[in-house]
A and B are shown apart, each in its own frame.
Chain A
Amino acid sequence: MEDKNKNRVPLGQKPHIVEKPKDPSGIGGTITVEINEKKVTVPMGTTILEACRENQIHIPTLCYHDDLCFAGVCRLCVVEVEGMATLAAACAFPITAPIKIKTSSPKVRRARKHVIDLLLSEHYGECYSCIRNNNCELQSLAKEYGVTDYTFGHIEKKRYEIDDSSFSIIRDLDKCVLCKRCVRTCIDLQEVGVLEAIGRGHETHIGTFLDKPLADVICINCGQCINRCPTGALHEKEISNEIWEAIDDPTKHVVIQTAPSPRAAIGEEFGLEPGHSMTFKMNTALKRIGFDAVFDTNFTADLTIIEEGTELLMRLYKALVNKDESVKLPQFTSCSPGWVKYLEHFYPEYVEHLSSAKSPQQMFGALLKTYYAKKLKLDPSKIVSCAVMPCSAKKFECNRPEMNDSGYQDVDYGLTTRELAKMIKEAGIHLPEMPDSHFDNPFGDASGAGLIFGATGGVMEAAIRSVIEFITGDKAEEIFEGMNVMPVRGFDGIKYAEIKIDHVGPVPDLIKHLVPNWDWVKGATLKVAVAHGTANAKKVMDDIRAGGKFSQCHFIEFMACPGGCLGGGGQPIPTNEEIRKKRAQAIYAEDAGLELRKSHENPSIIQTYKEFLTDGPCGHIAHKLLHTHYTVRGKYIA
């Protein structure tokens, strides 16, 4: 597998990460350089940019991104290295000799200004009508370097058609500065490979295979490219206007569900540091905007755990007791629509491994237009169901043709965190000042298990908390300290855990009609794995295909985005590992502070099974509304 990796990306383009060594002499020693006449000692091989950052010297960057390998194409980070004829790009210059560097000489400043001016000369459009106004790296750089006029002119005509074919992602190439961050995101970070530089010279543009519209190529809609685009060239398909229209229509009952990740990140759009949970302030803001009811997607996340957990137990029962060889194991999670589409394209022979349970968003959609409509005596055709998601792929998911089990389109609009922040601002609300308010009934309760769906490993942790109690009858908090299943937490690309089941308890009432007893799992070891980012998913899938360690797993959680949903393509920009870690901390801290932390103990869930899904988990009603099927898509682009 390693060799193949080297084959994929030239070694020189591998992400450049200098591990901070405890003893620098261990990796080739240190070296002393002079930066702006100040002596600085750094480990051999550190880039000039890193050396400067560590010493609080600011160097502007554009094509450089913490998550990506360096490209050295924008030339904004140029510095003067004594003895070199030309300026050097700091991001791509490893220090191997005792050089003298000047980061802000007149030559450097002029070069940087010219670079920005040249970028602007080809950058069509005006900032005030741009979606990224006030959050654009090109705009900030222009300000930083005092660009007041267009030295090299400014393009007056549109050169490209806007590609709005996709349900999720819009490409506006007129705003593109060819930094290739999206290319590196798509190819190296996500290994999906939709975008590359097409053409040569002044005709170069970022394009898809045969310059087809995005909807016709293999795009999984994860939106990671949006998160890393420095300008407005990539953005989500905005639907806030439709939602405003629905809100303003008095005949419509507009409801909204909010996923766990947006609340951990939306504060960033209002100037807060990453890591502030805004759950209850957001509820108030949503009600003031005019939504008729605000629900917590964590409720259906709990429902997902019950359905998906039961499905897993049923698969294990069939495989181990009935010796049914057609049962597909390991079972894969199906909450991440980016991952689902990735599997449908790249590993179509494995779609039966996906849990048939819908994602929490779609489960909620189906319940709202059936159970909720019945309960409140509403006409389901008048319900407009919206969902705030950290995700651009959710827009695609709610438009999947099979997602209409309620008789209507289950979820009408998927909204990203960024769009919601914009709507809140448009309504004249400053989110951090809002008072707190709770979610609406009848789905008012949600557990911490549903909440941690937002972080990588969260679905697995939530499932383990419930499944382990189902089987052993012990309390999860007695098995895992503080109920925290640590082996599946953290930002390692692929995580693996084994849980030994040494004793079993009685079968809980909820699934008594499905399994007679637990004797058959006694002594077994439950093997689980977690992967986030489709590049890591690819590694796990290749291992499964080769019959390796992961093919022996029982349950694997996959998330399309690095860090899980909290690093999703609909989350506030910018993103990097530090920001994602802070968001994860916010989610885990909120979970730790909750009373209710297990899906199956959620009273709203118990009530829903009693009142509506009367034939239990994976029963007929549940199957009709809460489960789905997948499409074998394949890799071929027609």
Chain B
Amino acid sequence: MLISEKQALTERVGMLVQKYGNSRSALIPILQDIQYNFKYVSDFEQQEVARLLDIHPVEVYSVVSFYSFLSPNIRGKYIVRLCQTISCELSGKEKVAKAIERELGIKFGETTKDKKFTLEYTNCMGMCDQSPAMMINEKVYANLTPEKAVQILKEVK
């Protein structure tokens, strides 16, 4: 990483620490902010957060690895989360999953080469009555069929 890039990151993390405070309880809001804006928390940012909160980098990594909405690895601009819990499973999630995989050309847990899409499973989102359901970033799509799912992805693209 270039020194200027590192400085920019340090500055940004510093601003977040100013915004949310430097107590341990500020850790998750800071990480969520970074995740929201940059789609992942880089190892350098994790260490900077640790330094400014006076905790150890591994503690930050422990939190990042615990929550599925925080990611230590680079992810796509759009994160597609398909529900895998029982109602969606029973109403045809498997077919939707196959269609999405074929459309994006990646498997679950992977990110497209152009860093546009990341595909993963999620557990119940409370959309059981309109199953199967998926989320793209913060937006929920329900009553999916394979065709509808592909159509939605095409629109997003």
Contact = CB atoms under 8 A, between A and B. Distances in A.
Given A10-B24, A199-B65, A637-B47, A210 B72 contact: yes
Size class of A's contact patch? 20 to 34
Given A7-B24, A193-B58, A637 B43 contact: yes
Contact of B57 (A4, A197, A200, A637): A637
Interface stretch (B48-56, B81-89, B91-99, B135-143): B48-56
Given A7-B24, A210-B43, A196 B54 contact: no
Interface string B84-116: 000000000000000000000000000000000
B10 to A, nearest CB: 11
A196 B47 contact: no
Given A198-B65, A199-B65, A200-B65, A8 B57 contact: no
A8 B23 CA distance: 8
Interface string A187-202: 1000011111111100
A128 interface: no
B57 A198 contact: no
Interface residues of B, number: 20
Interface in A207-255: 207-210, 217
Contacts of A209: 43, 46-47, 57-58, 61
A4 B22 CA distance: 10
Contacts of A636: 47
Given A200-B66, A210-B72, A637-B43, A4 B61 contact: no
Contact of B62 (A198, A217, A635, A637): A198
B62 to A, nearest CB: 4
A207 B61 CA distance: 10
Nearest to A198: B65
Contacts of B62: 196-198
A192 B59 CA distance: 11
Given A7-B24, A200-B66, A637-B47, A187 B61 contact: no
A68 B155 CA distance: 56
B71 to A, nearest CB: 12
Contacts of A4: 54
A196 B62 CA distance: 6
A197 B67 CA distance: 13
Nearest to B68: A200
B59 A187 contact: yes
A194 to B, nearest CB: 6
A196 B72 contact: no
Interface of A: 4, 7-8, 10, 187, 192-200, 207-210, 217, 635-637
Interface of B: 22-24, 43, 46-47, 51, 54-59, 61-62, 65-68, 72
Given A192-B56, A196-B58, 14 more contacts: A7-B22, A7-B54, A10-B24, A187-B56, A195-B58, A196-B56, A196-B62, A200-B65, A200-B68, A209-B57, A209-B58, A210-B61, A210-B72, A636-B47
22 contacts: A7-B22, A7-B23, A8-B54, A10-B24, A193-B56, A194-B56, A196-B56, A196-B58, A196-B59, A196-B61, A196-B62, A198-B62, A199-B65, A200-B65, A200-B66, A200-B67, A200-B68, A209-B47, A210-B43, A210-B61, A210-B72, A636-B47
